[in-house]
Chains A and B, each alone.
Chain A
């Protein structure tokens, strides 16, 4: 019973992590840039949805509007910032993405203040009763939406002409240019899609918890996900996101209580703190020692 409940929570948050991580991988594949600012887009998405409800939109419309706004913000980031840095070293570009994260936080802090905000209810309140355990609609909706969208996006990337252009531009930009694919436009598209996914992730995370600036630190969870998934594999991100969500949920729901009751019985220590934020990283570290290319990553092969 308890296990099932924990697993559901793990799937819900894990699939949102996957959604966010897929966006990072998408940009990395076609431009070689790791977007350290992804957490900023997650946070912006949630605040944008909140702002739209304050303007009078229904929560559902506000959520959809926030996703569109974030797509525009992502495309603009590429056009106004990244495109001007084409000749800069990749490390410099990554530092700029980190700067954007700080900027977005400052903007949200200035407009919305530092306090937690109750996020408007997008999905119906209440819970479904599955075999005796109750799961709130928020969790069901977050899991279903993120999983369906992740899979839909993977299918889009794999089977449509637009997806093929994305993959071609990511594989070899010189060859792509020569066959008439406008590579920088493809990078713009990647930023737009990635930011839209991040924005949706932000909205879903805010419905699961609440709205605050700490949403921007979600990037810290997304990075182990993409490393575990193999950095260039979208499917890897999906699987690794779910895995990490589960690890967090089980650490929080089983390991921490067990450890705390053991410590209470035998020592004077009462709490072990937020163990769920540590264990996943330890496991990722351990796994990378065994399999450095991640679960789905390909070992670099070169013709010599």
Chain B
């Protein structure tokens, strides 16, 4: 489904964030993209979603394709319309708009069937229905994370990219977020990539595990082999 070959990514023309990475996502998979801070996980996801040029970054070498179609040079809005949704770090939403407007805005690129999807989002996150007239800026961190996942669902993605969804959340909230991701993966047959530092729960549900360190893939295994001990060794090496 998603195929990145020998991808090198740079910031400001000089800072090498990702160096010769091969990264493949099979349809229906749930891929864990692990690695310490600064390993290049976010950069890789941003490159897929076409967001790098907006942060002075670029794809310096390699190819990225989605269903055989090259994503290089495509505008992020066009990539989103292909059915790739990136849930960015920092819970990016429209804080000055109401929750209902946030969800509506997220469906404008693919308006067909938006009403059904809105019901589905409210079914996943009942609190969003109750608070739908409130500004998104009033939500707590965990609620915001749910909202941005809900916004991604409104775009009817086939490939969902989640960038550190657990960052800054309480342990119970982290469990809730992963419950939702797992449910989406099963019920909506969405292919998912989750970038995280380390989350045991993620290893239990993943179908494939990549570990990045300093811009390179240092490990690619089925989740059975990726126990915490091995991961710790890879992280520290």
Contacts and interface: CB of A to CB of B under 8 A. Distances in A.
B88 A164 contact: no
Interface stretch (A43-51, A126-134, A169-177): A169-177
A80 interface: no
Interface string A179-215: 1111100000000000000000000000000000000
Interface string A152-175: 000000000100110110011011
B51 A179 contact: no
A167 B97 contact: yes
Given A172-B95, A175-B92, A179-B155, A167 B51 contact: no
Contacts of B104: 161, 164
Nearest to A165: B108
A167 B108 CA distance: 13
A178 interface: yes
A181 B77 contact: yes
Interface stretch (B79-87, B122-130, B175-183, B187-195): B79-87
A182 B95 contact: no
Contacts of B106: 179
A171 B94 contact: yes
Nearest to A184: B75
Given A175-B92, A175-B93, A181 B85 contact: no
Contacts of A168: 94, 97, 101, 105
Grouping DSSP codes into helix (H, G, I), strand (E, B) and loop, the A interface class, with mixed when no group exceeds half, is: helix
B214 interface: no
Contacts, number: 79
A179 B109 contact: yes
Contacts of A176: 94, 105
Contact of A164 (B54, B78, B92, B108): B108
B101 A167 contact: yes
Contact of B76 (A164, A167, A178): A178
Contacts of B152: 179
A178 B49 contact: yes
A181 B109 CA distance: 7
A113 B213 CA distance: 68
Contacts of A180: 76-78, 80-81, 108-110, 155
Contacts of B110: 180
B85 to A, nearest CB: 7
A164 B101 contact: yes
Which one of A164, A175, A181 has the greatest number of beta carbons of chain B within 10 Å? A175
18 contacts: A161-B104, A165-B108, A167-B94, A167-B96, A168-B97, A168-B101, A171-B96, A175-B151, A176-B94, A177-B80, A178-B76, A178-B85, A179-B105, A179-B155, A180-B80, A180-B81, A181-B105, A182-B77
Interface of A: 161, 164-165, 167-168, 171-172, 174-183
Closest 6 CB pairs of A and B: A180-B109, A180-B80, A175-B92, A171-B94, A168-B105, A179-B106
Interface of B: 49, 51, 54, 75-78, 80-81, 85-88, 92-97, 101, 104-106, 108-111, 148, 151-152, 154-155
Given A164-B101, A180-B78, A180-B110, 17 more contacts: A161-B104, A164-B108, A165-B108, A168-B94, A171-B97, A172-B94, A175-B151, A177-B54, A177-B76, A178-B51, A178-B76, A178-B80, A178-B87, A180-B80, A180-B81, A180-B108, A183-B77
